[in-house]
Amino acid sequence: MKANLPNTDLPRVVVIGGGYGGITVAQALRKAPVQVVMIDKNNYHTFQPLLYQVASGGLEPDSIAFPLRKMFAKQKNFTFRWAEVDRVHPDKKCIETSIGTINYDYLVIATGSKTNFFGNKEIETNALGMKSIPESLDLRSLILQNFEEAHDHQSTEVQDRLMGFVVVGGGPTGVETAGALAELKAHVLPSDYPDLDLDLMDIHLIEAGGRILKGMSENSSQDALRSLEKLGVSVHLNTLVTSFDGSVVETKSGEKIDASTVIWAAGVQGAAIDGLEEAIEQRPNRLKVDKYNRVEGYEDVFAVGDIALMQTEEYERGHPMVAPVAMQMGEHLGKNLAQMFKGAPLKPFRYFDKGSMATIGRNKAVLDLGKLHLRGIVAWLGWMFVHIFYLIGFRNKVVVFVNWVWSYFTYDKGTRLIIRPYKRKDKNSKEKVAAG
């Protein structure tokens, strides 16, 4: 069965994934003589850097999401289909989806990444990732459910476990999540749960390497570590988590931590699609691409963003799996394809690193701009400005800004709602792999 798409005599460019890589490709092709077909398992784009704020109750999910159809409403050569992609058939130049087969002249894979549990099924079953809005809402519900349950128990042992939180992974996501939990403990939860002894609430950040924020400067790493410790977060370096059964975290050294909530931010891997196995670098599960983002071994298949592994002298292991890389790759590829249709040669991609940043809490952030290192309120304001700037949609920018201003002056987070109670996954359940 073929998917229902508008008939066209123009070349068809199919883009799989509505993240930053996918939308920038499509936008760059808005004036090109092609039909652009985007496919995603969600009908919205997610601003992933702020997912942790949804999880901690700082923002509502609709403030960091934007409908894809609305985003491209004025682009005449654009068509969107809400679907999951099952397989690519490069020999037939088509893809299998949940709504039928779709033929393509050129294929752009922008499926992004997914949480990497490194093959540990027990942790995958019991811990929570944070790569999507549903996962963030699950985490928000679980956090609040734990406090409600702790409120009903008189046993300090049970309360200690229910109010124990372990964040695994010392990258920006882990650091920002741990900081957000610490601020909840300091400013929000005491008024919500005055009968609970919040001294029993422990927040642990566990990093397998020798320092947190290893992608940033040593100064930023040390500043972030000091800020987390001042907030009461216990930071464990050179520590590898080996198991989590739902109530106890165990490390390779034999240390055990009582906690009912583990947030897994220890790594990601490419969200690859079946059919292009020969081009996949297995360990990061990313598609090997050349300097033009063309997938190795295929003339008409391209990849951008987290799923693309472009190895250069500067980036021997590929570019970092972050939004700025996806945006630059997507825009560059879109312009390249538009020029290619005019008969012009492709230009090689080169990443321009605009800097790195992470926030730890109120007035606490670190920012690296080349050799310049900023910290404290200046870096925090810079972090706020950049994140609001890159949000899509004027309404979202205003809503997020107002929420942050309100939270800053009132020490309150206004979305502590259990919309749908979280239930842990069945150990026998299987994850369905989908694009987007």
* Residues that are catalytic: 176
Q: How far apart are CA 130 and CA 139, in angstroms?
A: 8
Contacting residues for 60 by C-beta, under 8 A, at least 6 apart = 54, 399, 415
Residue type, 104: Y
3-state secondary structure the chain: CECCCCCCCCCEEEEECCCHHHHHHHHHCCCCCCEEEEEECCCEEECHHHHHHHHCCCCCHHHCEEEHHHHCCCCCCEEEEECCEEEEECCCCEEEECCEEEECCEEEECCCEEECCCCCHHHHHHCECCCCHHHHHHHHHHHHHHHHHHHCCCCHHHHHHHCEEEEECCCHHHHHHHHHHHHHHHHHHHHHCCCCCHHHCEEEEECCCCCCCCCCCHHHHHHHHHHHHHCCCEEECCCCEEEECCCEEEECCCCEEECCEEEECCCEEECCCECCHHHEECCCCEEEECCCCEECCCCCEEECHHHEECCCCCCCCCCCCCHHHHHHHHHHHHHHHHHHCCCCCCCCCCCCCCCEEEEEECCEEEEEECCEEEEHHHHHHHHHHHHHHHCCCHHHHHHHHHHHHHHHHHCCCCCCCCCCCCCCCCCCCCCCCCCC
Ramachandran category for residue 179: left, alpha or beta (phi over 0 → left; psi -120 to 50 → alpha): alpha
What φ, ψ does residue 190 adopt, rounded to 5°?
-60, -35
Q: How far apart are CA 80 and CA 4, in angstroms?
A: 11
Q: How far apart are CA 78 and CA 205, in angstroms?
A: 44
Tell me how far apart the 2 most distant CA atoms of the chain are, in Å: 74
Element (H, E) at 426: none
